[in-house]
Amino acid sequence: MQLAPYAAQQSTSRGRRFAEDTPMYRTDYQRDRDRIVHSSAFRRLEYKTQVFVNHEGDMFRTRLTHSIEVAQLSRSIARILELNEDLSETIALAHDLGHTPFGHAGQDALNASMKDYGGFEHNLQSLRTVDKLEHRYADFPGLNLTFESREGILKHCSIKNAKQLGDVGERFINKQQPGLEAQTVNLADEIAYNNHDVDDGLRSGLITIDQLLEVSLFKEQYNIVQQQYPELDQRRQVHEIIRRMINRQVVDLIDTTKANLEQAKPQSIDDVREQNKPLAHFSHEMQEMNLELKRFLRTQMYSHYRVHRMSAKATHIIQQLFTAFLNDPKLLNPKYQQIIADKEDNGAELGKARAVADYIAGMTDRYAIAEYGKIFNPSELT
């Protein structure tokens, strides 16, 4: 793997919180990636969703397939920019680990429930998952990932929270940038979800091709495909359009970032961190087109009554579970009762609420629905 001087390198890594020997046949970043793939939070991504709830159909993206798509895009981008592909893959596969069930509706509901207890940020929760919540290794809590992986996972964070986080929080206070692997994964995430939401939106019938023709990024590629394959059936037509939209965005990102790198000439990852703004970004034109697409998705899809109806249900489920568990911890799985009892010994109401939030955030969509049924549905006796 040819690495540019500004890429993350094992030799300049800021290391792990608990020192470990470097593995024999892998780099430290490969080890980080492998630890994520083997974690239980990663497996649970299969039954967590972003827009559609898991039981709505097997054809839609889940957070697991989304994370794999982000990893694919991130690796392609990393290879061309001579970044550390293993680190990019690690960050991509871990970036959504802290999401609650039911996508943004779940996150907003949990944040509201946690209002008096420090709030809930899914991004911070991803870091918390790899730092604390995975219980697998004898010598340390969490997955003990390298600083660079943790830096990339913590995409954004309030200053208040940053102050509690030590080394990974510093850049939010000092207004520094993360490494380029983190920057590019962040944008690959955006490319992945905007495009797959168009795909899933069309498949589900929430949006139509006619509506999408008002979005220039879509229309541009629609015209090309239409001209080249006028007789194509709709499913393949949509796929041909979306693959071109993705390619257009990836190429734009690579070209713009390359030009920025040529100008700034960073000689190390620390040079990248010291820049006053990210070096990886889209061109101005693409930025505008992305905004237009996002606006379209927000008004036509995310606030569609069918999505809203499910979000309202999700909000209700999360709120009710939170209140029930906080008021009566005996309803919880004994493992969590123990965690709460330990916190209560220290007289910490805050800790109790945080443990409930950790438990709920870790649930899959279907587990949360089942738990709700067990607690609130009188006809479910077990």
Give me the residues that bind Mg ion (CB under 5 A), please.
96, 189
Distance of closest approach, residue 92 Cβ to Mg ion, in angstroms:
9
| Token duo for residue 354 | 């945080």
Which CB, 131 or 189, lies closer to Mg ion? 189
Least separation in angstroms between CB 97 and Mg ion: 10
CA atoms within 13 A on the CB side of 253: 28
Q: Shortest Cβ contact with Mg ion: which residue? A: 189
Residue 88 beta carbon to Mg ion: minimum distance, rounded to whole angstroms:
14
The DSSP string of 212-269 is HTTSHHHHHHHHHHHHH-TT--HHHHHHHHHHHHHHHHHHHHHHHHHHHHHHH---SH
Taking the complex as a whole, the smallest distance from the CB of residue 50 to Mg ion amounts, in Å, to 7
Q: Quick one: 68 or 224, whose CB is closer to Mg ion?
A: 68
Burial status of residue 285 (CB atoms within 10 A of its CB: 0-12, 13-18, 19 or more):
exposed
> CB-hemisphere CA count at 13 Å for 112?
14
Closest to Mg ion by CB, 91 vs 314, is: 91
Q: How far is the CB of 371 from Mg ion (least distance, A)?
A: 25
Residue 186 Cβ vs Mg ion, minimum distance, rounded to whole Å: 9
Which has the closest alpha carbon to 191: 96, 269, 282, 256? Answer: 282
**Residue keyed to tokens 């207890």:** 117
Measured from the CB atom, the residue of 189 and 197 that comes closer to Mg ion is 189
| DSSP element (H, E) containing 69 | helix 63-81
Q: Which is nearer to Mg ion, 189 or 200 (CB)?
A: 189
Among 199, 225, 228, 224, which residue's Cα sits nearest to residue 212?
A: 199
CB nearer to Mg ion: give 71 or 202. Answer: 71
